[in-house]
Amino acid sequence: MINMRTKTLILLSVLLVLLLGFLFIGISMDPELYGSHMVNRLKAPSFEHFFGTDYLGHDMFFRTIRGMAFSIIIGLCACTISGLIAIALGTLSAVCGGIVDRVVLWAVDLAMSIPHLVLLILISFALGGGVKGVMIAVALTHWPSLTRVIRAEVLRIKTSQFVKQSKQFGKSNAWIAFHHVVPHILPQAIVGIVLLFPHAILHESALTFLGFGLPLDSPAIGAILSDAMKFITTGQWWLAFFPGLILIILVLMLFSLGDNIKRLLNPQTAQE
């Protein structure tokens, strides 16, 4: 029977192959492959066009790969920035306390009190949309929950016995932070950032789908799905099915990876 560690390694390997494959192929792809060819418009899936073609003759297979590369790049950048913000604010809040702690908690409560999608739309719209607007919007809206986790972990470490003994032995705050705080918050930070990644991809696609993200003529998953909605009722089901299926599979695998890593780092479930 395959244990949790082996399952996680297999899932991680498959995900790395998929992500690197989408990135490498999508970025280096010849634009002619996903370009417009009107003679091929609205063709059903076949050996010539695996995912069919749209109303402008775009090959949906290559267009989907290109769109996933866009989503992965934006998701990686956004979740990394958001994770760093959460680590900085959560640590600062727990270490400084007082007014700094109250300000950080107020910012967290304020961000979480506004509906997530509404906040995403407002920030992206204010920044003019596009890649920059979407990336900043996603990065600035995904840090609150991870900030709370990091803050709670740092507070627990501050009151632990080994930190008190280190202070009694004359160790500096920098030494304690490097040897005690960082190793303990690193697992939570890694799991948090991994779980932010699929959220970032989904929200980037949602913003573009609603018209507040990347331009609708760009080969992005949200734009592909938005265009597909106009043709589903006329029988062109493949325009939404294949891009949506690829997006769902990738997101579910990322969520599963994050959940497995969290269980491996938990002493109660690590031996499963």
Chain-centre distance of CA 63, in angstroms?
21
DSSP letter string over 177-200? IIIIIHHHHHHHHHHHHHHHHHHH
> In this predicted structure, what is the pLDDT of residue 269?
58
Cα–Cα distance, 238 to 157 (Å, whole number): 52
Q: Would you say 89 and 110 are in contact if contact means Cβ atoms under 8 Å apart?
A: no
- pLDDT by residue for the chain (272 residues), tens only, comes to 667 778 778 888 888 888 888 889 888 888 888 888 888 888 888 888 888 888 888 888 888 898 888 888 888 888 889 988 988 888 888 877 788 889 999 999 888 888 888 888 888 888 887 788 888 888 888 888 888 888 888 888 888 887 788 878 887 777 777 777 777 888 788 888 888 888 888 888 888 888 887 776 777 788 888 888 888 878 888 888 888 898 888 888 888 888 877 777 765 555 55
pTM for the full model?
A: 0.82
Cα–Cα distance, 93 to 100 (Å, whole number): 6
| AA letter at 9 | L
Fold assignment, 4-28+60-265: MetI-like fold (1.10.3720)
> In this predicted structure, what is the pLDDT of residue 142?
85
